[in-house]
Amino acid sequence: MAGTWGRFNVVALALGFAFLYLPIVLLVIYSFNESRLVTVWAGFSTKWYVAMLNNRGLMDAAWVTARVAFLSATVATVLGTMAAVALTRYTRFRGRLLFSGIVFAPLVMPEVITGLSLLLLFVAINFDRGFATVTIAHITFSMCFVAVVVQSRLITFDRSLEEAALDLGATPVKAFFQVTLPVILPAVIAGWMLAFTLSLDDLVIASFTSGPGATTLPMKIYSQVRLGVTPEINAVSTVLIAIVTVGVVVASLANKRQDVLRQREAAE
């Protein structure tokens, strides 16, 4: 029968989502554990959140990460959107093949290679490692993710709208900002969020390209995890998971609302 959702499918989805979510749920639960042992439950406590807030090194690293992520995501969104426009609007220019190659290659490039190569570049040009180099590194790989997200939206975009604006005398720049950008805006925002979380998340590239005084949160978490699992790290992780989850859910709801509004407008 068409459209029946077989028992097999329900079981597959239930098991699949259990596999995806159980580790995260357990991590969150044990962040509220009284005991220092992460695997033995000894009662509810928020003391690890207090310990986390009092951990100076951790908080400094969080602040560095927040600034790097904000700055790199913003620049990456501008550059990535430009790259997406270049790839979809200009089908013929010299070096286009190379350009599309270097836009897509960072998506699958192992991080150790990207990190090492950027570090060697900074050393070769005698650029002091620190906040700036981590930010540049993050812009470089996350702009490619932005480009892919925005490009997939631009492909489905009805070009005749833009052409109409141009025919009516708008300059290309004006046509872009008044016609194209509002339509692709959800993708641009999604791209920014993706770039932000990629930066928030990156351990390998930051370890290669950062210098003294620019320890990011993942670097700090990694060095503590290597010393042993502590509920404090569970607490930090829970906060990060909460931030990202709220961000994604709010964005998708906002997106949905916009779609509804647009449909209502179209109906009227």
Pairwise CA distance, residues 137 & 205, whole Å: 7
Closest by Cα among 60, 51, 53, 56 to 216: 60
Chosen residue from 21, 164, 178, 223 binding another protein by CB under 8 A: 21
- Separation of CA 210 from chain center: 19
The dihedrals phi and psi of 44, each to the nearest 5 degrees, come to -80, 140
Pairwise CA distance, residues 178 & 162, whole Å: 9
Residue pair 229/49 in contact (Cβ under 8 Å)? The answer is no
CB of 52 to another protein, least distance (A): 14
Residue pair 81/151 in contact (Cβ under 8 Å)? The answer is no
164 binds another protein (CB under 8 A): no
- Segment 108 to 127, residues that bind another protein, using CB under 8 A: 108-114, 116-118, 120-121, 123-124
Pairwise CA distance, residues 154 & 146, whole Å: 12
CB of 220 to another protein, least distance (A): 11
Task: Single out the segment in contact with another protein by CB under 8 A; choices: 45-53, 54-62, 216-224, 260-268.
Answer: 216-224
Chosen residue from 43, 92, 93, 264 binding another protein by CB under 8 A: 93
CB of 56 to another protein, least distance (A): 21
233 binds another protein (CB under 8 A): yes
CB of 243 to another protein, least distance (A): 10
Residue pair 251/185 in contact (Cβ under 8 Å)? The answer is no
* Residue 3 vs 182, nearer CB to another protein: 3
222 binds another protein (CB under 8 A): yes
What Å distances lie between residue 57 and 159, 216, 231, 263, 266, CA to CA?
A: 51, 10, 16, 50, 53
161 binds another protein (CB under 8 A): no
- Segment 179 to 198, residues that bind another protein, using CB under 8 A: 193-194, 197
246 binds another protein (CB under 8 A): no
CB of 84 to another protein, least distance (A): 9
254 binds another protein (CB under 8 A): no
Pairwise CA distance, residues 104 & 188, whole Å: 17
Pairwise CA distance, residues 118 & 48, whole Å: 37
- Segment 52 to 91, residues that bind another protein, using CB under 8 A: 79-80, 82-83, 85-86, 88-90
218 binds another protein (CB under 8 A): yes
The 137-156 contact track toward another protein, x by CB under 8 A, reads x-xx--xx--x---x---xx
Closest by Cα among 147, 20, 141, 24 to 80: 147
